[in-house]
């Protein structure tokens, strides 16, 4: 048997075993519907954990979660102690040549939240409006784009690889740190380490390792 065949055969066996494990895990788990209408639920916190999907947050009359991907990839959605929680399904994928382009769309009522958090490994985060006492958004690989950020006790944004853009905000202070990218504050280019404080009560802290920071 040639060397190439000795290498390929174990790989095929592992792939088949892995596929079987995936199928067994998926079939044994209750799958959240692609659209989760949670209009009867009252929440004051949002906590999102994500592996590979894009996330879009918008405001509306009713709380709901929509997912445009396949059912077996949909996030697990639950409301617990007035907290909307989204967690990814623990699946192993052998597809090395493509990246998920699915989007989780979350519709939130206009009411103020006590806390808001997103932790994402790989995917863009787009938010129409955040209205919360405090919170953070962190992504290892993806852009963070926020149209309107209203907080009371501060907010943190961080990305290891991606741009961070905030169009409107009510922060009383700003603290930027950027390893490789351009910082723009109110249409003016500023230094990689930039701070401006009117008050420390509601500081917008932004850390970026590789990407631009734009605050208007």
1/66 same-domain check:
no
Are 119 and 201 contained in the same domain?
yes
Q: What is the pLDDT of the chain when averaged over all its residues?
A: 84
Q: Which domain holds residue 19?
A: 1-30
**How high is the pLDDT of residue 116?**
98
At 101, the pLDDT band (50, 70, 90 cuts) reads confident
Same domain, 104 and 130: yes
SS3 176: strand
Q: Which two tokens stand for residue 11?
A: 């790989």
Q: Residue 51: give its domain's CATH number.
A: 2.160.20
pTM of the model: 0.80
Residues 25 and 37 in one domain: no
Overall number of domains in the chain: 2
pLDDT-based confidence at residue 89 (cuts at 50, 70, 90): confident
Report which of residues 53 and 14 the model is more confident about.
53
Residue 25 dihedral angles phi and psi, to the nearest 5°: -65, -45
Residues 8 and 45 in one domain: no
pLDDT score for 87: 95
Which secondary structure element, helix H or strand E, spans residue 116, and what is its range?
A: strand 113-120
**Mean pLDDT (whole number) for 147-164:** 98
Whether 25 and 2 map to the same domain: the answer is yes
In terms of domains, do 47 and 152 share one? yes
């Amino acid at each position: 048997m040639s060397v190439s065949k000795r290498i390929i055969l174990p790989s095929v066996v592992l792939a088949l075993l892995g596929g079987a494990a995936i199928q067994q895990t998926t079939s044994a788990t209750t799958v959240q519907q692609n659209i989760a209408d949670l209009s009867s639920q009252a929440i004051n916190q949002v906590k999102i954990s994500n592996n590979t999907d894009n996330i879009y947050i918008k405001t509306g009359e009713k709380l709901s979660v929509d997912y445009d991907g396949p059912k077996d990839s949909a996030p697990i959605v639950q409301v617990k102690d007035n907290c909307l929680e989204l967690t990814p399904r623990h699946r192993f994928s052998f597809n090395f040549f493509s990246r998920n382009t699915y989007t989780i769309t979350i519709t939130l009522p206009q009411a103020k939240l006590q806390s808001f958090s997103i932790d994402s490994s790989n995917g863009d985060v787009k938010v129409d409006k955040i209205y919360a006492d405090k919170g953070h958004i962190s992504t290892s690989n993806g852009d963070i784009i926020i149209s309107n950020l209203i907080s009371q006790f501060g907010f943190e944004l961080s990305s290891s690889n991606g741009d961070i853009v905030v169009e409107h905000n009510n922060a009383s202070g700003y603290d930027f740190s950027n390893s490789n990218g351009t910082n723009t504050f109110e249409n003016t280019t500023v230094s990689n380490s930039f701070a401006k404080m009117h008050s420390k009560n509601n500081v917008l802290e932004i850390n970026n390792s590789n990407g631009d920071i734009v605050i208007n």
